[in-house]
Structure 1
Amino acid sequence: MAGFELINSIIIVATLFVIFGIFLFFDLFKRNERYGYLAYIVALIPINVLWFLQVDVLGVYLVLFILWIFCLLRDLYGVTKEKKEINDVVLYLILAIIIQLTLTAILPESIDTMKTNTTPYWFFYLPDTYTSVFGLESWVNPTMMFAFRVTASLLIGLVIVPLLVDLKGED
């Protein structure tokens, strides 16, 4: 029976990633609609399903940040083509972050298995990666932690640098 559950889980997650891909490449359809920005929010669906399926929580956030980086690269290319505004890009990214934080408060309270390797900060269950003496927890893979740090830094850089360039251009 466990084999069928694994196959079903893989099919569901793959389908959700395909749906994310449709939103990611929505601009290729030349519809002149702004549904492509929803890719930031749609990325949360397969990520939280992976979290529900007991995938390593740090790996889940690593994949989420990679998906958001793909969205940012797509949108920053659109900003250079003067079709998109950086303010809209940041707005949808911040909206997705707020929704994810809300989900981290709600889902672990409903599904106890999602509390694994997380710690509550106020109401939000975020990855618990450090010990009380700032060493890595025993469950943390150091390579994955390094990849997570690099990805988070790249994500922040892809948001801040275009904003600074946009502010400089308004003078």
Structure 2
Amino acid sequence: MKTKLVTPEGYKKLKDEHDHLWFEKRPEITKIVTWAASLGDRSENADYTYNKRLLRQIDRRVRFLRKLLPELTVVHYSPQQEGKVFFGAWVEIENELGEIHAFRIVGPEEIYGEEKGVISIDSPMARALLKKEVDDVCTVTTPSGKKDWYINKIKYQQAFAKMSAGEQRKS
């Protein structure tokens, strides 16, 4: 089962996607479908067929987002997290071969799309890193065996957390 956690940025992105699809994209496609339907024979009307399919895809995604958004728990930055790996942390790790990877630990709904450098809190790597500190070793079980990773850096996006709190007070 997927964890129902999300960063404030991830929640905003999902909410913005819903609003764009529902208030902008769907009305635009609906107009095209209505126009194409008025032309008569729908069976050979490519505009009608394509846009009707697109409308179904939009509706499916909107239904998914409307069900998902209320179930998510937004995890805000907390000063108690400093120095240890928790949800929302940016982590830099290194193995004994000197390979370095950097990523942010986010909710499973945030790892899709154009976002790079993120891993799901549900991944074996994230689970192994939780509660560890800089210079700790974490062992991750992979299909090819166990691998050790050393934690080089941990940081949190405090500026965004402070900005979000300021925006919330204004609301």
Q: Which category of TM-score, normalised to the shorter sequence, fits these structures?
A: under 0.3
Task: Name the larger-Rg structure.
Answer: 2
> Whose helix fraction is larger, Structure 1's or Structure 2's?
1
TM-score normalised over the length of structure 1: 0.25
> Whose strand fraction is larger, Structure 1's or Structure 2's?
2
